[in-house]
Amino acid sequence: MKLDNLGVLLITNNRSRAYLQRMVHHRLLPAFAILLDNSPGGMLPGQTSADVSPADTREASCAAASDRFQLNSETLQRTLERLEIPFTLVSSSNPNDKVVTDALRARSESYWVYSGPGGAILSKSTLSIGKSFIHVHPGIVPRYRGSTTLYYSLLESGSCGASAIFLSADIDAGGVIATKEFPPPADRREIDYLYDPLIRSELLVDVLKQYARNGSFNCTTQSGPAQTYYIMHPLLRHICILSNRPLSGHGANGQ
């Protein structure tokens, strides 16, 4: 079914492919798509070279999945064309660029699933154009806000989670639509490129099913202890990948 009043704002990466392909798998089609240009070029603030490299094209499934979904190598544009989902290509990889906000303003859809470049943060100006942006964060908020939170969660508790939230001016502090916990990945080397997109897309489909039933999203204000984390040191990340157990008492406070 087509989800009226809902669009997707995507850039080419595994997360975007997982979002779109899983939506299609469940017959939850966006009314419109805006594709950001992912041509080689300069990185945005906060990005690493991995964020602008071509998407991993291996097929993958998640052991936690109950819907038999499998990510494949089909491009975003090919998926949209095959399903006859209307879309536009914009000549910028920066979601805050005027050409992007103009494209958003030109559309009637109120809700936009956001999957932009890693490290890119929507500006206050972009957030004020009258659209609601839905983001699936890799961590249970407010306990795990910020960057590389799957790794911090694994180190501290041996578990992972995701939160579907509305974006706000404060990082990962917007209203919560839903949260979900997942078992840790069988192969921690694939956290970033395969496991992360698959768990995020699973929660996204959960909230879109809610939207399809009700025509709206349930939303609650975040409450409880909050912590914002910063990019994990590569050595600590390596320890997390090699370890199969939480490091009890490890205080990863991100400071």
Interval 54-63 mean pLDDT: 54
- Residue 119 banded pLDDT, cuts 50, 70, 90: confident
Cβ atoms within 10 A of the Cβ of 107, count? 15
Beta strands 160-166 and 132-137 are: antiparallel
Place of tokens 């936009």: 112
- For the stretch 159-196, pLDDT in tens is 999 999 999 999 999 999 999 999 999 899 999 999 99
Beta strands 145-146 and 87-90 are: unpaired
Q: What are the structural domains of the chain?
A: 2-242 (3.40.50.12230)
Task: Find all residues with CB under 8 Å of 226, minimum gap 6, and list them.
Answer: 141, 142, 143, 145, 173
pTM of the model: 0.88
Q: Are 90 and 34 in contact (CB under 8 A)?
A: yes
**SS3 call for 187:** coil
Whole-number Cα distances in Å, 30 to 1, 16, 36, 168, 186: 9, 13, 16, 22, 32
**Is 90 exceeded by the pLDDT of residue 251?**
no
- Residue 255 banded pLDDT, cuts 50, 70, 90: very low
Output the pLDDT for position 61.
57
Bridge partners of 120? none
Backbone φ and ψ for 243, nearest 5 degrees, come out as: -90, 145
- Residue 38 banded pLDDT, cuts 50, 70, 90: confident
Backbone φ and ψ for 179, nearest 5 degrees, come out as: -130, 160
Using alpha carbons, select from 86, 56, 28 the residue that is nearest to residue 198: 56
Output the pLDDT for position 118.
87
Alpha-carbon distance of 23 to 148, in angstroms, equals 25
**Is 70 exceeded by the pLDDT of residue 21?**
yes
9: left (phi over 0), alpha (psi -120 to 50) or beta: beta
Bridge partners of 88? 34
Bridge partners of 164? 136, 178
